């Protein structure tokens, strides 16, 4: 997800046909990512801090930024008093930039949609922005993210409108609810992911409480 400023980077991201290709596309884009998304008014890493602050006490424990990218959320959550944040991403290059911000305790290379390298009930909450979108992490990623979040913890993430149904996110939400693994807490109306460019790119934020 990005603006119109570097079509080649965007084209590589959307042309990716596998996790490896997508990780390579982000590697190529990593150094320009912050500048280009800022120019487009990309707001999701900053907006998500509102939902974290609404539902997660500062002393709740460790938080996971799932698909943290360059770690745009970290410093702003830190400023709000959340100083125990980990991140995962499948791009080493994006993780290196996140590490340079100094706001993350641990950063690990891991792939959403595969088994995650943490034990059950490890995190007080996870949050994720811009990752549940076209050609990115599948709805099935939520299984593992919920597994590593403790009961009473929260799942806070955005989903792009174009994949909500086609990517079977709604089905996954219901399946996890029917299995007694989480309950819905809040669903935002659709809103723009970019304040400046691409008004057609809409996302919704979702909050669930893990049971
Ligand atoms: C649009 S960026 C969002 C990064 C950050 N959350 C933000 O909002 O700026 C998408 C990120 O998800 C990562 N990503 C995409 N699919 C992934 C997957 N299946 N597993 C792990 N990371 C993934 C990419 O490497 C990239 O860093």
* 183 alpha carbon – ligand 1 mean position (Å): 25
Q: Is 64 in the pocket of ligand 1 (CB under 6 A)?
A: no
Query: pLDDT digit of tens for each residue in the chain (211 aa)?
Result: 544 445 567 778 888 888 888 999 999 999 999 999 999 999 999 999 999 999 999 999 999 999 999 999 999 999 999 999 999 999 999 999 999 999 999 999 999 999 999 999 999 999 999 999 999 999 999 999 999 999 999 999 999 999 999 999 999 999 999 999 999 999 999 999 999 999 999 999 999 999 9
Q: What residue ranges define each of the domains in the chain, with the CATH number in brackets?
A: 43-210 (3.40.50.150)
* 135 alpha carbon – ligand 1 mean position (Å): 11
Asked whether 69 and 83 are in contact (CB, 8 A), the reply is: no
* Both tokens assigned to 87: 């991140």
How many Å apart are CA 206 and CA 204, to the nearest integer? 6
Which three-class secondary structure state does DSSP give residue 91? coil
Q: Which residue has the tokens 């770690």?
A: 71
Report the atom number in ligand 1 closest to the C-alpha of 138.
19
Report the atom number in ligand 1 closest to the C-alpha of 33.
9
Q: Is 146 in the pocket of ligand 1 (CB under 6 A)?
A: no
Asked whether 13 and 26 are in contact (CB, 8 A), the reply is: yes
* 149 alpha carbon – ligand 1 mean position (Å): 19
* 101 alpha carbon – ligand 1 mean position (Å): 17
How many Å apart are CA 49 and CA 210, to the nearest integer? 19
- Residue of 38, 90, 108 best suited for mutating to test ligand 1, as the one with most atoms within 8 Å of CB: 90
Q: Is 69 in the pocket of ligand 1 (CB under 6 A)?
A: yes
Q: Is 137 in the pocket of ligand 1 (CB under 6 A)?
A: yes
Pairing of strands 106-109, 85-89: parallel
Give the model's pLDDT for residue 2.
45
């Amino acid at each position: 997800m990005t603006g119109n400023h570097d079509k080649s980077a965007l084209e590589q991201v959307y042309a990716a046909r596998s996790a490896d290709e997508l990780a390579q596309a982000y590697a190529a884009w990593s150094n320009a990512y912050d500048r280009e998304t800022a120019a487009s008014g990309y707001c999701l890493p900053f907006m998500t801090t509102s939902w974290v602050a609404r539902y997660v006490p500062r002393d709740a424990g460790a938080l996971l930024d799932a698909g943290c990218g360059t770690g745009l959320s970290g410093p702003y959550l830190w400023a709000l008093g959340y100083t125990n944040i980990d991140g995962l991403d499948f791009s080493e290059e994006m993780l290196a930039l996140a590490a340079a911000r100094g706001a993350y305790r641990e950063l690990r290379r891991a792939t959403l949609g595969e088994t995650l390298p943490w034990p059950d009930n490890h995190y007080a909450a996870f949050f994720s922005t811009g990752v549940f979108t076209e050609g990115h992490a599948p709805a099935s990623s939520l299984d593992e993210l919920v597994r590593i979040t403790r009961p009473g913890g929260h799942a806070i993430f955005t989903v792009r409108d174009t994949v909500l149904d086609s990517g079977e996110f709604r089905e996954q939400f219901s399946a996890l609810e029917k299995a007694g693994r989480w309950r819905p807490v809040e669903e935002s109306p659709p809103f723009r992911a970019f304040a400046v460019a691409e008004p057609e790119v809409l996302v919704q934020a979702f909050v669930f409480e893990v049971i």
